[in-house]
Amino acid sequence: MRGPLGAVIGRYPSSDGNAQMGGIIRHNRKCRDIVFLVIFIAFWVGMIVNSSFGFNQGDPLRLTYGLDYKGNVCGDKHANPGLRELELKYWLNPNQVYQSGQKDSQFKLADARSICLMDCPTPSEDSLNWVCDYPEGEIRLSMDDWIDRNYDYFEFLTPEMRNSSVNLQGPCYPVIFPSVNVYWSCQFLARPSNVSLTHWKQMGGMNIDADLIIDKSIHKSTNSRSSVLKRYMSDIGKSWPILIVCGGILPLFLAVIWLLMIRHFVAAMPWVTVVLFNILIVSVTMFYYLKAGWIGNDAITPIIGDHDPYVHIFGRELDHMRAAAVLMTFVMAVSVLTSIAIIRRIIMATSVLKVAAKVIGEVQALIIFPIIPYAILAIFYMLWLSAALHLFSSGQIVQNNCNSNCCAYDLASKRVNCDRCCGYSIRYTPHIDIAIFFHLFGGYWATQFFVACSSTVIAGSVASYYWARGETSPEIPFLPVFSSMKRLARYNLGSMAIGSLTVSFMESIRFILESIRRKLKVTNTTPDSWIGRAAHNTSRFCLRCIEWIIKSVNRNAYIMIAITGKSFCKASAIATELIMNNILRIGRVNVIGDVILFLGKLCISLSSALFAFLMSDTHKYRSAHNKISSPLFPVLVCWGLGYVVATLFFGVVEMSIDTIILSYCQDSEEHQGTAQYAPPLLMETLNDQNEMQRLTQGPPSS
């Protein structure tokens, strides 16, 4: 028995020395952890400033489309000239592309002259096609006329302009190589048109290098890690309808349905959850195999639009999809075997879920309460994702200093210019990676904060129900949910800030340690030196310790905060002591129930992922303008959003069970093994499943 802590939960002495029964929830409280609330507010101010920088400096179009020779983003209707529908980047000078692909060459592909077009040019079968610069100066053509002429106005050039064009200095350039649209860049194919080359040589054109280097140079650029990451971020922006439907609306609907079924069909729900989980995880894994090309012929491809079926171009996204398919296969095998192993324990889970079903039936506002944090999180995620896209694309467009002998005809100045003919690049602001990490950490912290607030409100509502003996009394408000929200907003926001910060900080450490462990594993599975082995084993041990701390502190500390009004650290100490004194009682009853609830969350998140796959497979997201490079990131984001939404709603059941069990154990401890405040519905449920004996029995005597 804890002595002084015993009165913290069960009863409080009044001024005359007598115990007040049921005064647990409405005793005198005061604001806690104010310092951390101030830190949280300051962090939000920093988030706003950080996001404002992204909105000011970023442009999500840069994540998808390239830059032309004027520094415009392809597809930008506000550019000069307007480039609406001109989304493809095409490199005009094939010799510059060839030069950028040579080893030890200081000339980079980003320095080569490029232009924005509506489609990739193809060589003529009987003559020589040209692609000319945007019309200006002496070229009296509108942009529409220029497009209608297939970007060719060679016949209007003066002799001087024709001479510079023959020397590959523009303003017109020959189309010698066929090209194909690969992620909005025209990928050259290293098989030049013999007809076009013949016409070019007859005109006295300079020698054009035709080699595989010209193919590999563009492929290397479009397939680089930074380009792939930009496309993944762009996929999230393009698939916002998928995120809203599959990451927001669908999990909301499924979570409410699941709560209602738990309320009315509690005996069947554990079985339904296990069966549905296995079906969903197999289905999602099959979709990964489908998109990886291991089932059927629907593998993701980097080529956009129609193309020669004999043209095969490799994309890094396909490797990532195949890696995800292999990982999902392993997860599927472990999950199916685990679910089979717990089948014999489902009856125990049913008895635990009955407790929550009884509470939800009495405090019916709990079913609809999660809609409030859901709406807040939905608004936050829309703003946060928009800011993330702008941060990833933030930077200034500057002209490169290529220090190379390149010249190009300038239509405005009517001469060949060799001073500023290099291409443009996006120069990212220093420490932009820190700003992005700050934004990601802030998003995770905010999510944990809202989940903590939701959990605490539910815990306060259920505790009110328990300590009022399951009845409506003067000590317990008629609407315990709204009363619990009021107490949270008035006294405990600081405690929510430190609790969510602790979880976020520990998860960040876990991510860093996991990265270190993976690097050690890549270099050598088991380090040879004792220092390496010690670091390897220590990192794994720390990971397990952090996971245990997160699981033990998170929910139970919030329960104690809701009940006692103590600070986060004090509530954590009370919860830890209470758990340690009743570890066998809580463990036997609660473990299987938590497993079933976790599988329920996975069912909803897997459903979100499955429907995200289906939506991303429609024509809208496979066509040229809205095509996503890979469904991998939209599916993962929908999976994560679905899990967050399920956590908000399933928190009703989780917190109901944990709060009832902790309150029951404390009540039983204070009254010599016989709970005094347990409502009749709880006692009836526990007696029906013979759980009373489990809870009241301590560890067997030796």
Query: 624, 349 in Cβ contact below 8 A?
Result: no
- Please check whether residue 702 lies inside any domain of the structure: no
- Please check whether residue 469 lies inside any domain of the structure: yes
Calculate what percentage of the chain has a pLDDT beyond 90.
31
Mean pLDDT of 579-585: 69
Sign of the Cα pseudo-torsion (303, 304, 309, 310, in order):
negative
Q: How many residues does the chain have?
A: 702
Query: 632, 303 in Cβ contact below 8 A?
Result: no
Picking from 196, 173, 19, 202, the residue whose alpha carbon sits closest to that of residue 90 is 173
Query: Predicted confidence band at 571 (pLDDT cuts at 50, 70, 90)?
Result: confident
Residue 132 φ then ψ, to 5°: -110, 160
Please state, in angstroms and rounded to a whole number, the distance separating the CA atoms of residues 447 and 318: 31
- Please check whether residue 47 lies inside any domain of the structure: yes
Domain encompassing residue 137: 88-223
Q: Is 73 helix (H, G, I), strand (E, B) or coil?
A: strand
Most confident of 284-288, 315-319, 497-501: 284-288
Query: Predicted confidence band at 390 (pLDDT cuts at 50, 70, 90)?
Result: very high
- DSSP for 295-349 reads STT----SB-S---TT-----HHHHHHHHHHHHHHHHHHHHHHHHHHTGGGHHHH
- Please check whether residue 427 lies inside any domain of the structure: no
Q: 40 is written with which tokens?
A: 């949280």
Query: Predicted confidence band at 172 (pLDDT cuts at 50, 70, 90)?
Result: very high
Residue 497: alpha-carbon gap to chain centroid: 22
Characterize 560-592 residue by residue with b for buried, 16 or more Cβ atoms within 10 angstroms of its Cβ, and e for exposed.
bbbbbbbbbbbbbebbeebbebbeebbeebbeb
Q: Which of 56-70, 349-363, 373-387 has the lowest mean pLDDT?
A: 349-363
Total domain count, the chain: 2
430-451 confidence digits (pLDDT tens)? 788 889 989 999 999 999 999 9
Within this chain, do residues 148 and 273 fall inside the same structural domain, yes or no? no
Please state, in angstroms and rounded to a whole number, the distance separating the CA atoms of residues 577 and 590: 17
pTM, to two decimals: 0.84
Within this chain, do residues 490 and 580 fall inside the same structural domain, yes or no? yes
What's the farthest any 2 CA atoms get from each other in the chain?
Answer: 112
Picking from 539, 538, 534, the residue whose alpha carbon sits closest to that of residue 515 is 539
pLDDT of residue 643: 94
Query: 61, 73 in Cβ contact below 8 A?
Result: yes
pLDDT of residue 445: 92
- DSSP for 483-534 reads HHHHHIIIIIHHHHHHHHHHHHHHHHHHHHHHHHHHHHHHH-SS-SSHHHHH
pLDDT of residue 10: 39
- Please check whether residue 413 lies inside any domain of the structure: no
Q: Is 119 helix (H, G, I), strand (E, B) or coil?
A: coil
Helix and strand numbers (H, E) in the chain are 24, 12
Query: 665, 586 in Cβ contact below 8 A?
Result: yes
- DSSP for 569-609 reads HHHHHHHHHHHHHTHHHHHHHHHHHHHHHHHHHHHHHHHHH
Query: 657, 691 in Cβ contact below 8 A?
Result: no
Look at residue 8 and tell me whether its pLDDT is greater than 50.
no
By CB atoms closer than 10 A (0-12, 13-18, 19+), residue 484 is buried
Within this chain, do residues 257 and 289 fall inside the same structural domain, yes or no? yes
Within this chain, do residues 561 and 681 fall inside the same structural domain, yes or no? yes
Query: Predicted confidence band at 18 (pLDDT cuts at 50, 70, 90)?
Result: very low
Query: 691, 589 in Cβ contact below 8 A?
Result: yes
By CB atoms closer than 10 A (0-12, 13-18, 19+), residue 336 is middle
Q: Which of 213-222, 366-375, 538-547, 630-639 has the lowest mean pLDDT?
A: 538-547
- Please check whether residue 11 lies inside any domain of the structure: no
Q: Which of 37-51, 77-91, 219-233, 473-487 has the lowest mean pLDDT?
A: 473-487
Within this chain, do residues 168 and 217 fall inside the same structural domain, yes or no? yes
Query: Predicted confidence band at 240 (pLDDT cuts at 50, 70, 90)?
Result: very high
Query: Predicted confidence band at 12 (pLDDT cuts at 50, 70, 90)?
Result: very low
Look at residue 346 and tell me whether its pLDDT is greater than 80.
no
Most confident of 103-107, 465-469, 602-606: 602-606
Q: 380 is written with which tokens?
A: 């936050």
Please state, in angstroms and rounded to a whole number, the distance separating the CA atoms of residues 630 and 304: 12
Phi-psi region for residue 358, left (φ > 0), alpha (ψ -120 to 50) or beta? alpha
Within this chain, do residues 482 and 542 fall inside the same structural domain, yes or no? yes
- Please check whether residue 515 lies inside any domain of the structure: yes
Return the beta strands (E) in 368-467 as ranges: 396-399, 408-410, 415-417, 424-427
Q: 670 is written with which tokens?
A: 């204070």
Query: 44, 383 in Cβ contact below 8 A?
Result: no
Within this chain, do residues 134 and 281 fall inside the same structural domain, yes or no? no
Query: Predicted confidence band at 5 (pLDDT cuts at 50, 70, 90)?
Result: very low
Please state, in angstroms and rounded to a whole number, the distance separating the CA atoms of residues 659 and 466: 9
pLDDT of residue 2: 43
Of 192, 223, 254, the residue at which a domain comes to its end is 223
488-526 confidence digits (pLDDT tens)? 888 889 999 988 888 788 777 777 766 666 665 555 544
Cis peptide before 135 (omega within 30 of 0): no
Query: Predicted confidence band at 126 (pLDDT cuts at 50, 70, 90)?
Result: confident
Strand partners, 187: 180
Q: Which of 63-67, 308-312, 404-408 has the lowest mean pLDDT?
A: 308-312
pLDDT of residue 360: 78
Residue 62's contacts (CB-CB under 8 Å, 6 or more residues apart) are 73, 230, 393, 395, 426
Residue 560 φ then ψ, to 5°: -65, -35
Within this chain, do residues 514 and 570 fall inside the same structural domain, yes or no? yes
Strand partners, 181: 186
Q: Is 137 helix (H, G, I), strand (E, B) or coil?
A: coil
Please state, in angstroms and rounded to a whole number, the distance separating the CA atoms of residues 584 and 699: 7
- Residue 27 DSSP symbol: S
Within this chain, do residues 121 and 45 fall inside the same structural domain, yes or no? no
- Please check whether residue 62 lies inside any domain of the structure: no
Within this chain, do residues 500 and 590 fall inside the same structural domain, yes or no? yes
- DSSP for 337-366 reads HHHHHTGGGHHHHHHHHHHHHHHHHHSTHH
Picking from 180, 178, 184, 150, the residue whose alpha carbon sits closest to that of residue 68 is 184
Within this chain, do residues 466 and 348 fall inside the same structural domain, yes or no? yes
Q: 524 is written with which tokens?
A: 């050598």
Picking from 119, 111, 132, the residue whose alpha carbon sits closest to that of residue 74 is 119
Cis peptide before 474 (omega within 30 of 0): no
Mean pLDDT of 92-114: 86
Within this chain, do residues 277 and 208 fall inside the same structural domain, yes or no? no
Residue 462's contacts (CB-CB under 8 Å, 6 or more residues apart) are 359, 363, 366, 655, 656, 659, 660
What mean pLDDT value characterizes the chain? 81
Of 189, 223, 257, the residue at which a domain comes to its end is 223
Picking from 647, 551, 682, the residue whose alpha carbon sits closest to that of residue 258 is 647
Picking from 364, 412, 437, the residue whose alpha carbon sits closest to that of residue 47 is 437
